[in-house]
Amino acid sequence: MRYSLNLKLKREKIFFGPGVYHLLAGIVETESINRAAKQMGMSYNKAWRILNQAEKELGFNLVEKNVGGSNGGGTIVTPAGKQFMEKFLRFQKIMYKEADKHFNDIFDVFIEGGSGNDEGTI
């Protein structure tokens, strides 16, 4: 028996979770919202909507877009965006560690063939 958790941050609405984290990680890797969105099977417009909503809720920019030029444009994750990603991942790891401990303590007699979460971390 295992469990599954999905960490999401919200104010009035959910604005940050594993999907936004993965989108930002893709932008770090590719320096392109378009390429990061395609890697996730997401449209460019949806990626921008998700990022704009998260930025609105957070009150700071997660990404910075560089317009055109001879090498084309690109997008980078801001230092504040990278810091937020690190804190999200850190909180998720703590959450899973505590959940694993309590899960194992509570369900110990029912666990066969392993325990813990199916998710790991992002």
Residue 67: the pLDDT is 79
User: For residue 54, what are the domain limits?
Assistant: 9-110
Q: Is 28 inside a domain boundary?
A: yes
Instruction: Name the residue with higher pLDDT: 119 or 3.
Output: 3
Domains identified in the chain, total number: 1
pLDDT at 118: 62
**Average of pLDDT values for 23-35?**
97
Task: Indicate the pLDDT class of residue 122, thresholds 50, 70 and 90.
Answer: low
Task: Encode pLDDT of 63-102 as tens digits.
Answer: 999 876 556 679 999 999 999 999 999 999 999 999 988 9
Does 120 map to a domain? no
Instruction: Report whether pLDDT(114) > 60.
Output: no
Whether 118 maps to a domain, the answer reads: no
Asked, for residue 121, whether it belongs to a domain, the answer is no
Q: Which pLDDT belongs to residue 98? A: 92
Residue 40 resides in a domain: yes
**Assigned domain for 31 exists:** yes
Domain presence at residue 115: no
Residue 95's domain is classified under what CATH number?
Answer: 1.10.10.10
Q: Please give the pLDDT value at position 107.
A: 85
* Dihedral sign for Cα atoms in the order 99, 104, 109, 115: positive
Q: Are 96 and 117 in contact (CB under 8 A)?
A: yes
Q: Is 19 within a domain?
A: yes
pLDDT(5) > 80: yes
Q: Phi-psi category of 120—alpha, beta or left, where left has phi over 0 and alpha has psi -120 to 50?
A: left
